[in-house]
Structure 1
């Protein structure tokens, strides 16, 4: 009797294990979930994007994470800054910069992306950046901005009546005030998309930010 019960128990266990193995193999055949397919497919083949960062103290994750996502999707990335040479991130990341913001020719690009970080405003909050922002919008191209850099878009006058987000903290709401003072509709979200303008609120939003750029360029 006991041997019979043990035999039945073994059969049941083997059956359960078999179901799990089958499900695992089925998932592998089906491929990655839709969200992962978005970043792995070559949706942006032939698209060119210029990423603008501070020459000193840009936010590393906000540059490297979206860049990897966009390149995996097939986009060609160029990096611009207020100086040429080796830009250094706040966490020590290094980026070779061969293009000045003032030299950007928007005819060469499908999208413009601004990166934030503690050095963002000191390096990029100026007329050269404002002109790039304004020309990007006037030419109906994708404009993306993350962390503190949406304040540059606001000062350039392109967020009037637009939904947007920006970096903020319980102790510092100044960036939100800049957006609202310049006509933006602030939303407390990680990423906000309004037409062809994409804004992200900080490094934690880097992956979602990159994926939103892909969607806008598809």
Structure 2
């Protein structure tokens, strides 16, 4: 399979499951995941939020865990990485304002490296201007942004369990889609998981 080095973009109030679970899955299969956050150094943490679907018109939000930042955002060189993961939550809303973070995303796209983005993470892809003619999905409230950015919106079923692959992008609507989202991302990485 070969160890892949993966960059994960996080920030305060990143969605807990959307950072923790992919981190654990990817490291479990032997990949190295560097978690970075603008303004935070290795050894510091970001606060997470747990978003849940409890029958309301939108998700509810609860305080999650502290998630470790293990690499230095200011030293990121895209050439050192094989892929990118962008979790959702509230963090993408303000992370997309960081110009260097947007440049990093554009560099991954320019080098045609696999990108896994989930839920509100696609707000960062929209801000980077990289979704033109890309079929993708996201949390439904992000649909207008994706369509205005030239992306091809893909509806998924009500249980949020589907993930969409187009070119080097793997997108999903929310954490219930983790099994499909991570399986498809691992396939793009060339990782083999035997049943």
Q: When the two structures are superposed, what TM-score results if normalisation uses the length of structure 2?
A: 0.80
Match of 1:67 in 2: 23
Aligned mates of 1:101, 1:188 — CA distance in 2: 34
Runs of 4+ in 1 over 6 A off after TM superposition: none
Counterpart position of 1:76: 32
Which structure 1 residue ranges, 5 or more long, are not aligned?
Answer: 1-42
CA RMSD in angstroms comes to 1.6
1:216 equivalent in structure 2: 188
How far is 1:153 from its partner?
Answer: 0.7
1:186 equivalent in structure 2: 153
Q: CA deviation at 1:196?
A: 0.8
User: 2:45 maps to what in 1?
Assistant: 86
Q: Match for residue 109 of structure 1?
A: 81
Distance 2:113 2:87 in 1: 17
**Equivalence for 2:91:** 119
**SS in structure 1 of the partner of residue 90 of structure 2:** coil
Match of 1:145 among 72, 92, 117: 117
- Contact kept, 8 Å, 1:147 with 1:201, in 2: the verdict is yes
| Unpaired runs of at least 5, structure 2 | 50-62, 157-161, 191-195
1:33 paired residue number: none
1:98 CA displacement: 3.9
SS in 2 for 1:159: coil
Matched residue, 1:129: 101
Q: Distance in 2 between matches of 1:124 and 1:157?
A: 11
1:49 paired to 2:21? no
Deviations 1:94-147 (A, max 9, x none): 222143444311111100111110232123443222211110011111111111
- Flag the 1:184–1:101 CA change in 2: closer, same or farther, 3 A: farther
CA contact (8 A) 2:95 2:124 kept: no
Check conservation: 2:92, 2:120, Cα contact below 8 A. yes
Match of 1:14 in 2: none
State the Cα distance separating 1:57 from its structure 2 match: 0.6
Contact 1:65 1:207 in 2 (8 A): no
Distance 2:66 2:84 in 1: 20
Please identify which structure carries the higher helix content. 1
Greater Rg by CA:
1
